Amino acid sequence: MPLLSAITVLLLNAIMDRRSFLRTAGSAAGAAALLDAPIAPLQARQSSQADVAAIIKRTERNRDMVQSTLAPWGGSLDAHTTGHVYRRAGFGGTVAELKAAASLTPSALIDALLDDKWTLDANMPGPPSHAQTWMLLPPYQGTDLQRQIQQNIDDSNARYAIRRSWAVEMSRPSTMLREKMVYFWANHFVVEAQKVEYPHLLLPYLTYFRKHPWGNFKQMVKDVSVLPAMLYYLDGWYSKGRNPNENYARELMELFTLGVTDKDGNPNYTEDDIKAVALALTGYSIDFSTATVNGFPAIYTISDHDSSLKKPFSSLGAPIRSYGLSSSLHSVPDDIIDCLFQYRGDKLAYFICGKLYQYFVYHDISGATEQAIISQLATTFQNANWELKPVLQQLLKSEHFFDEANIGAAIKSPFEYMIGLARQFDIPLDEFQTGTLEMYGLSLLNQSLLDPPNVKGWPGYRSWVSTTTLPIRNKYLASALAMTGGTTGIPAWNGVTGYGENYTGILWSDADVLKWAAQFGEYKGDVHHFISQVATFLCAQPPASDFLTTYVFAPLSFPDYEWPTMPDADRVIKIRTILTAITTLPEFQIM
Amino acid sequence: MKRRDFIKALPLGVAAVGVPFSLGGFAGRAFGRSPVLDSILNGSDGSDRVLVLINLAGGNDGLNTVIPFTDPVYAKARPTIGFGPASHATLSTTNLSTSIARQDLALNPAMAMRAGTTQSMFELFSTKKLAIVNNVGYPSPSLSHFRSTDIWNTASDSNVVLTTGWLGRYLEEAVDTNYPTDVKTGDDPLAITIGGAPSAAFQGTTFGMGIAVLDPSNYLTAGAPQAESTASTNAGAELAYVRGIYQQSDIYANQFTKYFTKGQTPKNTVNYPSTNIAQQLQRVAWCIAAGMKTKVYFVQLAGFDTHISQNATDPSVSGQAQLLMQLSQAIGAFQTDMENAGMADRVIGMTYSEFGRRVNENGSNGTDHGTSAPQFLFGTQINGEVYSSHPNLTDLDSNADLKWAVDFRQLYTSVLGDWFGVSPQMRKAILMDKTTSGEQFAFNIPVNGTSTVQSLIKTPAVRSVSSAPQPLDFVLNPNYPNPFTSSTTVSFALARTMPVKLEVYSERGERVAELANATLGRGTHEFVFGANGLANGTYICRLEAGDGVLVRQMTVVR
């Protein structure tokens, strides 16, 4: 086929696709239609024969043709693939970290990140700043208005302290996968700080996931079902006797374990199942009078538990029982959650593995991916008796994870973006700096940690970038950090923490910029080579060299032969300009 | 593909772009005609009309919004959170039955609250600018927040998953171009979400048809994108998507600069409350008042998932009453602002919420997920009435939930057809209506307590949106006799089978009859129009068929 005809066919396909609105339930081809047609770039470039050839060449690597599987990747790590691991299984890495990690085998690198030692008490972070001022005091429950107001202010300050300290944890390299899993779970077993106002509930909630980032999922579901933050968020502590509150039971199945339907569009549960599970989970409350380092405890009161016979999943043959009649705190979830896993295990395995796949690899699960990847992971998950670690090992060590087609296939979330920016520029973050980042997230980027918009969590992926959020990223964060002309960093958010200290900016001194640049070998030699190396480090899919010449070098407006002899005072300005140009490219938004 | 100037068309731009439109027997333009009639005859073609979508996220409890306060079943189902006899004095101030509704219904008293000297939702209703459509739902309802929200946003059947939004499909058809590639300098955004991410209702097939703007008066650009190819891989697809957002961001920068001065807060004619929803609507008002030609705006009020703390009467205690008060104040302020600014005839608003809630309250002073609920449309161009009956609280589905009477897509049909002038064929396509005769989702809902079926929109748009201008393939014959005393026969001929709507309007723009609303076959069709009870004067016969509209004048003389 002549090249131009091929382009025409592509365009026609794109146009035809636009008309085919209808996607049936369970067809993973649905969202794929959105992706099949990069109309704009193709049209813009079809005049140039050279470009057409390039497009055709790339098109041959059609995403539906991807043959990579879950087989262990046999390649060796380099800066490109190590960077991929650090971005996807963490929040980005420094030049030095990537260099060191590239000497490992892929398997060894993943195992080091998945090491259980990161879940031990000894490796738990210390409490957030000022935790001692609120963590051990029960909240004021009296009627004095002034004290009530003060309690609200104290709680608000403490919530911010928890968020800031979490962002600091994200920036630590050794425990980055643990924190990436906490980030995942907090968007899976969602609570909203807007409703769960008590820091005494929120901090233990985060700590739970830090201690069980890749543990046994069945145990997690049992534990989370009676985690005080969850009891509070989805009204479990209100649900008593024969007059239950369905909030938790519904989301338990819809969002936390099964999904509404399976991949073929069949319902995974019925309204009767929800009612049965809601009845089974009655009898819990929270003791707000006892504050401990573990927050407020959950209480189970057997007289508040509905003792009638319940028929969850009755069409599947689940036993008709009253579920959970012992007086132990865990008797109810142990009983009903076991039932859920026993009778809906296959659906559950598929749902959870699909969500992990989306998080670590690609948001759009095609039919081919369903068969080749998700179903295999689900089998691993079930065979491992709901242990998560084997699933993560299989996925993160696979040739599919390292497939070039999937490197750069995720759009950075605000915190992946902000923490990543600091990590890639090797700027350590403290709580006062992450306080500034938190305010950017909250006010302008659509993400305030622990406060997703609803029980489903942030929709994520493509929804992170919009005509509102992208300009903020570029103007206030990337450009600011690399900007010339007096400002040498992200300015402090205008405000103080609730404890009287100032949020601080994230500064990057000229000396640090030069030190950073010096990591790129002969960086004073050829400016084009330097730009290319920096772009390769910063971007998951670095632009081609002719692109960099046009869009990064040309705007510098100086003859490249001046670069080697340029005084450092001038060079640092040029370097910042280069970094601004690269970090504001679309290529920097993907990871 | 050539872009049609849909968005830029002026109110009278119909002729300019050559869309088939005929004045039938009319000899030019008469003086002294009402603007409403003018609009029926000459178009509003829908091109300057604006829809503001207000999403009530979380599932608003319908039974405590439009309250069947005398229904003993209601009292029994809601012993704690219901409006019992003690609150009937309060409800008398928002009693709908004393005005228009023919049932014993009252609005939640929180909806009688207004901001400053603006209007409350109840006042909008009293002045016939608020339509209350009872019992809106859909078959096989989903009780999941997210699935049901998707169903409303995509206008799909309950068991069908669509990836495009209903307004995204409409806007795609309206611009008929590669969006945003072919957007020209001087174009305004087709749709705007006030916030961080565009509404799913605006999702088109290849791209979102709307943009997100937090503050229109301080629009920022992401920077100019580079026209580069992307690999046909997962990674390439995401890069292409990000490039598209850069492009969207960049192409509208000049427009926002044109309409707004950076650093200057635009002025409104009223003071808006400081609530989030009111601030969002204030920003919508900025855009409209500045002259932006954006068709659809999306704002959201969240928090309606009242499993707990739904105590009925006191906005300071009840989560729902607090939200309804905010809604009433925000909508009232916005509507007053539009009226003061002279924009009101161009703007309507519509609420939607993914579901209503269970009839019986739960044991936590709240309600669990349910099914159908009332929705609201407001504006000077809305026929303010109560539509449909209140749900029957004794005839419940197997899950003890309400049975719906109005499919939400019937509201969409009204908005698309009568407000935006989308042709029957096209709106059938947009709403995935695969029936071969008539419209599956035609708005045929009678006014509460009557058998009167009327449009939700006072003055339907006449311009039809179709893929390309083409010769009409139908004819509206002169009625006979004309003038007439008691009845006259209207006939028209169709060249092919097509959906047809034949209506008669008074000179003031009120619809007095709907003679036909069906898909009819090739050939001549006759309908008799009886003028019993009608005053002497001129009436307009309006035929909407296929992709066009024809009108003729008829005169009643006695």
Contact B191, B298 (CB under 8 A): yes
The 10s digit of each residue's pLDDT in A432-481 is 999 999 988 888 888 999 999 999 999 999 999 999 999 999 988 888 88
Listed range (A268-277, A489-498, B413-422) with the worst mean pLDDT: A489-498
Of the spans A131-145, B80-94, B293-307, which averages the highest pLDDT?
B293-307
> Which 525-564 residues of chain A touch chain B by CB within 8 A?
540-541, 543, 547, 550-551
Q: Are B355 and B373 in contact (CB under 8 A)?
A: yes
Instruction: Please check whether residue B79 touches A, CB under 8 A.
Output: no
In sequence order, what are the residues at sequence separation of 6 or more whose Cβ sits closer than 8 angstroms to the Cβ of residue B271?
B115, B116, B333
- Å from A87 to nearest chain B CA? 14
Token readout for A188 is 């899976």
Retrieve residue A572's tokens. 């640092």
Interatomic CA distance for residues A248 and A244, integer angstroms: 10
Q: Which residues of B238-273 are buried (b: 16+ CB within 10 A; e: fewer)?
A: bbbbbbbbbbbbbbbbebbeebbeeeeebebbbebb
Interval A177-200 mean pLDDT: 95
A168-177, A356-365, B182-191: range with lowest mean pLDDT: B182-191
The reply to whether A376 touches chain B by the CB within 8 Å rule is: no
Q: Work out the pLDDT band at B4, boundaries 50, 70, 90.
A: very low
Measured between beta carbons, which residues in chain A are less than 8 angstroms from residue B354? none
Confidence of residue A4 (pLDDT cuts 50, 70, 90): very low
Q: Nearest CA of chain B to the CA of A38: how many Å?
A: 6
Nearest Cα residue in chain A from B197: A466
CA neighbor of B461 nearest in space, from B364, B381, B368, B363: B381
In angstroms, the first-to-last Cα distance of chain A is 34
Q: Is the pLDDT of residue B128 over 90?
A: yes
pLDDT at A30 over 90: no
- Provide the token pair at A141: 């429950």
**Cα-Cα-Cα-Cα dihedral sign, residues A163, A164, A168, A171:** positive
> Quick check: A25 pLDDT over 60?
no
Q: How far apart are CA B241 and CA B243, in angstroms?
A: 5
Q: How far apart are CA A135 and CA A574, in angstroms?
A: 48
For the ranges A91-95, A202-206, B465-469, the lowest mean pLDDT is seen at B465-469
pLDDT of residue B465: 37
Mean pLDDT within A59-80: 76
Q: Which of A225, A164, A235 is nearest to A196 (CA)?
A: A235
Q: What is the C-alpha separation between B4 and B7, in angstroms, rounded?
A: 8
Helix (H) or strand (E) run with residue B22 in it: strand B21-22
pLDDT of residue B85: 86
Chain A closest-CA separation from residue B141 CA (Å): 11
Q: Which pLDDT score, from 0 to 100, does residue B472 have?
A: 66
- The closest CB to that of B163, out of A23, A54, A241, belongs to A23
Q: What is the mean pLDDT of residues B449-459?
A: 89
User: What ipTM is given for this predicted complex?
Assistant: 0.88
Q: What is the pLDDT of residues B304-329, one digit of tens each?
A: 999 988 876 677 777 899 999 999 99
Identify the band that residue B545 occupies on the pLDDT scale cut at 50, 70 and 90: confident
Q: What is the pLDDT of residue A127?
A: 86
Joined together, the tokens standing for residue B388 give: 């449909």
From CA B50, how far away is CA A348, in angstroms rounded? 44
* Helix or strand (DSSP H, E) at B347: strand B347-352
The pLDDT confidence band at residue B471, using thresholds 50, 70 and 90, is: low
Residues in B touching A411 (Cβ below 8 Å):
238, 241-242
Q: Position B124: which residue type?
A: L
- Phi, psi dihedrals of residue A121, rounded to the nearest 5°: -55, -40
The two three-digit tokens of residue B317, written as one number: 């205690």
Q: Which two tokens stand for residue B409?
A: 């897509």
CA distance B234 to A463: 16
Helices A527-538 and A79-88: angle between axes, nearest 10 degrees = 40
Mean pLDDT is lowest, of A140-149, A425-434, A576-585, for A140-149
Q: Which residue of A has its CA nearest to B198?
A: A466
Is A523 a residue whose pLDDT tops 50? yes
Q: Give B257-310 pLDDT, tens digit per residue.
A: 899 988 789 999 999 999 999 999 999 999 999 989 899 999 999 999 999 888
pLDDT-derived band at B176 (thresholds 50, 70, 90) equals: low
What does the mean pLDDT of chain A come to?
Answer: 86
Which helix (H) or strand (E) segment holds residue A489: the answer is: strand A489-490
B242 to chain A: closest CA residue = A586
Q: Is the CB of residue B224 less than 8 Å away from at least one CB of chain A? A: no
**pLDDT value at position B227?**
72
Longest dimension (CA), chain A: 85
Q: Does B253 touch chain A (CB under 8 A)?
A: no
**pLDDT bracket for residue A20 (50, 70, 90):** very low
Contact A469/B at CB under 8 A: yes
Token pair belonging to A445: 């980027």
First to last CA, chain B: 54
Determine contact: A569 vs chain B, CB below 8 A: no
Greater confidence, A20 or B361?
B361
Report the pLDDT value the prediction gives residue B537, as an integer from 0 to 100.
Answer: 83
Listed by number, the residues of chain A in 84-143 with a beta carbon closer than 8 Å to a beta carbon of chain B are none
Give the per-residue SS3 of A309-367: CECCCHHHCCCCECCCCCCCCCHHHHHHHHHHHHHHHHHHHHHHHHHHHHHHCCCCCCH
Q: What share of chain B is helix, strand, coil (3-state, %, to 5)?
A: 25, 20, 50
**How many whole angstroms separate alpha carbon B154 and alpha carbon A326?**
47
Q: Is the pLDDT of residue A53 over 70?
A: no
Percent of chain B residues past pLDDT 90, beyond the cut: 49
Q: Which domains does chain B have, with CATH numbers?
A: 15-44+464-556 (2.60.40.1930), 50-76+90-137+179-219+260-395 (3.40.720)
CA distance A368 to A380: 18
Interchain CB contact of A472 with B (< 8 Å): yes
Judging contacts by C-beta atoms under 8 Å, the chain B residues touching residue A62 are 232-233
CA–CA separation, B111 vs B94, rounded Å? 8
* Cα gap A181→A170, rounded to integer Å: 10
Give the number of other Cβ atoms within 10 Å of residue A518's Cβ: 12
Note the pLDDT of residue A255. 97
SS3 content of chain A, % helix, strand, coil (to 5): 55, 5, 40
Is it the case that residue B63 has pLDDT exceeding 90?
yes
